[in-house]
Amino acid sequence: MAERAALEELVRLQGERVRALKQQKASAEQIEEEVAKLLKLKAQLGPDEGKQKFVLKTPKGTRDYSPRQMAVREKVFDVIVSCFKRHGAEVIDTPVFELKDFDIAGQFDPMIPDAECLKIMCEILSSLQIGDFLVKVNDRRILDGMFAICGVPDSKFRTICSSVDKLDKVSWEEVKNEMVGEKGLAPEVADRIGDYVQQHGGVSLVEQLLQDPELSQNKQALEGLGDLKLLFEYLTLFGIADKISFDLSLARGLDYYTGVIYEAVLLQTPVRAGEETLGVGSVAAGGRYDGLVGMFDPKGRKVPCVGLSIGVERIFSIVEQRLEALEEKVRTTETQVLVASAQKKLLEERLKLVSELWDAGIKAELLYRKNPKLLNQLQYCEEAGIPLVAIIGEQELKDGVIKLRSVASREEVDVRREDLVEEIKRRTSRPLCMC
């Protein structure tokens, strides 16, 4: 036994050596040599004695979801999908990309799709009830124009842009030190950038910058500011302007954005009076990318596009945390009624009735025991959140009725068997909630 234990330890150490060499990207010859040593040690070890052990692991980058977690995920997706459909969205699946001809008849206002994307974002976040939020907007043309007038070399636009984008996480001093110390930007240029990127507000800030003697002379910045002013007009008509902040520090790192960019953050309520409200993380983002689709078109046509991304994994975590904090019960099924029996030897009657309900489109269950106690069946309904119980008893069978019980109120009524389906539908016509 001692010899086997020592040999197992050698196998473990050799396995770690092989993994380390692979991580270090050692030469193929060296790795092969060490793998050969590992196989030789395993051969000496021989087959495991006794029962073989199996270890189940989830693949990297994936996770298992419990019934409770899946109920949360489905509710979140239902909110998101229904919101998009309310705005006329179509569902697609794209395992293969195909190029198609685009024909935009007449002229259209490019700010309307941006305004509607922001409206959709606000509707989704409001419907999910995950807390107060703020949507920050900016325009890549304003950023590029600002960098130009501040003296940032063209070659440093994107790297300085990535530094600015960190302002929601670190202080301006830290961002400036990165620009100057790590990216070689002149201190006076960084200071000029700081005068701009620390500003945020509403349409009044847009109007103020339109009067800026330098920024207003830059063509790109002027176009971006003009579009943002129009965007705020539409946001006011949509009733969401109070949820939107023009934030000059918002940069969004992706190069394909060509115009308006936006990002939604959840807000943390101040602990003390007078403190500023803090952002606790991005949950949605998007923007305009008019040049992206044309990259895949042989004719290189410009196709106006806007996009919106919802951070569903972060939202799932937030909803789960909220439910746990409030100790809210989550329904993991959509069962409308449990078919129960009041006496023994009624399994066949329960099976017939549950089959009738299934055929009528009713979501129904029954306990799999032959003769379950009525109390156990009622307790199951309370634990699972099932709203109704259809109870079969000897007297009910003689009278041709089913006793329908409300789990919440414990009220019971006799319903003729032929009327049961309609009565269940009437009582459960309101949308089922998670809790």
* Overall average pLDDT of the 284-299 stretch: 84
CA distances 310 to 79, 201, 284, 316, Å, are: 12, 24, 4, 11
Could you tell me if residue 383 is left (phi over 0), alpha (psi between -120 and 50 degrees) or otherwise beta?
alpha
Mean pLDDT of the chain: 85
Least confident of 164-178, 399-413, 418-432: 418-432
Least confident of 190-204, 218-232, 286-300: 286-300
The reported pLDDT for the residue numbered 337 is 96
pLDDT band at 303 (very low <50, low <70, confident <90, very high): confident
CA distances 284 to 135, 313, 314, 324, Å, are: 9, 11, 10, 23
* Overall average pLDDT of the 315-342 stretch: 86
**Higher pLDDT among residues 430 and 105, named by residue:** 430
The reported pLDDT for the residue numbered 63 is 72
- Tokens representing 198 are 């620390």
For 59-113, the pLDDT digits (tens) are 766 677 788 888 888 888 888 888 988 888 877 766 544 444 444 344 457 788 8
**CB-count burial class (<10 Å; 0-12, 13-18, 19+) for 294:** middle
Nearest C-alpha neighbor of 423 from the set 387, 394, 398: 387
Least confident of 273-282, 356-365, 384-393: 273-282
pLDDT at 376 over 50: yes
pLDDT at 180 over 50: yes
CA distance 222 to 225: 5
**CB-count burial class (<10 Å; 0-12, 13-18, 19+) for 5:** exposed
pLDDT at 420 over 60: yes
Nearest C-alpha neighbor of 386 from the set 377, 394, 395: 377
* Overall average pLDDT of the 364-384 stretch: 94
Strand partners, 25: none
- Tokens representing 285 are 């983002």
Answer for the pair 399, 387: CB distance below 8 angstroms, yes or no: no
The reported pLDDT for the residue numbered 254 is 63
End-to-end CA distance of the chain: 56
What is the per-residue DSSP string for 20-54? HHHHTT--HHHHHHHHHHHHHHHHHH-SPSSSPP-
pLDDT band at 277 (very low <50, low <70, confident <90, very high): low
The reported pLDDT for the residue numbered 3 is 74
pLDDT at 240 over 50: yes
pLDDT at 122 over 60: yes
The reported pLDDT for the residue numbered 165 is 86
For 132-175, the pLDDT digits (tens) are 999 999 999 999 999 999 999 988 888 898 899 888 888 999 99
pLDDT band at 257 (very low <50, low <70, confident <90, very high): confident
The reported pLDDT for the residue numbered 403 is 96
- Tokens representing 43 are 């051969």
* Overall average pLDDT of the 248-260 stretch: 83
